[in-house]
Amino acid sequence: MEQELVVLAGIVAAAGVFAGLLAGLLGVGGGIVIVPVLEFAFGVVGVPEDLRMHLAVGTSLASIVPTAISSSLAHRRRDGIDGAVARAWSVAIALGAASGAWLASRVGGSVLATVFAVVALVVALRMLTASEVPRPVSRGDPAAPRWLPIPVAIGGISAMMGIGGGTLSVPVLSAFGLPIHRAVGTSAWFGFWIATAAATGFAWLGRGVSGLPPGSVGYVNLVTLAVLLPTTVLTAPWGARLAHSLSRRQLRIAFGVFLLITAIRMLYRALSL
């Protein structure tokens, strides 16, 4: 058991460095990078195939909570959070995340891998084909009650993917006409609600499941989390500095290629289960 923990910690440390660099380089919240590398790491140490995605998703969500808190506070100090949208969507997005965690606990790892692959593929194709970031198109007040199904869907899909939701909520908020900086800041605030609700759900719903590695609380592995957090926090600034040496187009292509490769691998994994 101790040897298994050492191997897992070593792989996750390497994965955390990789995830932190990519998160800083590509400007993503981390979950969309962390989930595939954790799924791989859990496979190396012998976690059963039908549990790897659940454990990767739950642990990724737990790792997002402190990052989302820090990011939200930073954006709030710069008036980067839209208060009206935050008040209107927070509860709905948390309920969606909790529902997504519940649904994830009821389906197999192949379903989670498929959800991750499809969303990552769509985002990848958009990143690779868009010539430039599109202008926001106002479609009404996002705080209006009729739009509440949108945050519920964002929370649910994000929970099943193990991400903080920025991949989905930033373009949606931008489409409503929010300036990009406020869209990003508000999305960071939603990331806290998504990650907290979903990670709690994964930890609770995974209680008593056999085959989980040592140090697991439900579908959240604390050993992995303890290694992952400091490595991603320390290496993300290195990736951010590297990003300034590349053009916006180069960054977009790099992100798109990475997501495309990840989506293909996840889809292959889903079909093989």
pLDDT at position 96, please?
97
Contact 90, 189 (CB under 8 A): yes
Q: How far apart, in whole angstroms, are the C-alpha atoms of residue 140 and residue 85?
A: 12
Q: How far apart, in whole angstroms, are the C-alpha atoms of residue 1 and residue 4?
A: 5
pLDDT at position 203, please?
96
pLDDT at position 273, please?
61
pLDDT at position 216, please?
93
- 61-75 pLDDT per residue, tens: 998 888 788 778 877
pLDDT at position 67, please?
77
∠ CA(225), CA(229), CA(235), 5° rounding? 145
Q: For the chain, where are the E strands, in sequence order?
A: 216-217, 220-221
Q: How far apart, in whole angstroms, are the C-alpha atoms of residue 198 and residue 122?
A: 23
Contact 113, 273 (CB under 8 A): yes
pLDDT exceeds 70 at position 213 = yes
- 73: tokens are 């506070």
From the DSSP assignment, how many helices (H) and strands (E) are in the chain? 10, 2
pLDDT at position 256, please?
78
Contact 37, 14 (CB under 8 A): no
Spatial CB neighbours of 149, under 8 Å, sequence gap ≥ 6 = none
Q: What integer is the mean pLDDT of 2-9?
A: 70
Q: What integer is the mean pLDDT of 9-25?
A: 73
Return the DSSP state at 162: T
Q: Which of 83-92, 142-151, 180-189, 234-243 has the lowest mean pLDDT?
A: 234-243
pLDDT at position 54, please?
95
Residues in the chain: 273
In 10 A of CB 103, how many CB atoms?
16
Q: What integer is the mean pLDDT of 40-46?
A: 84
pLDDT at position 99, please?
97
C-alpha distances (whole Å) from 181 to each of 30, 59, 92, 241 are 18, 28, 22, 20
pLDDT at position 123, please?
80
What pTM did the predictor assign?
A: 0.84
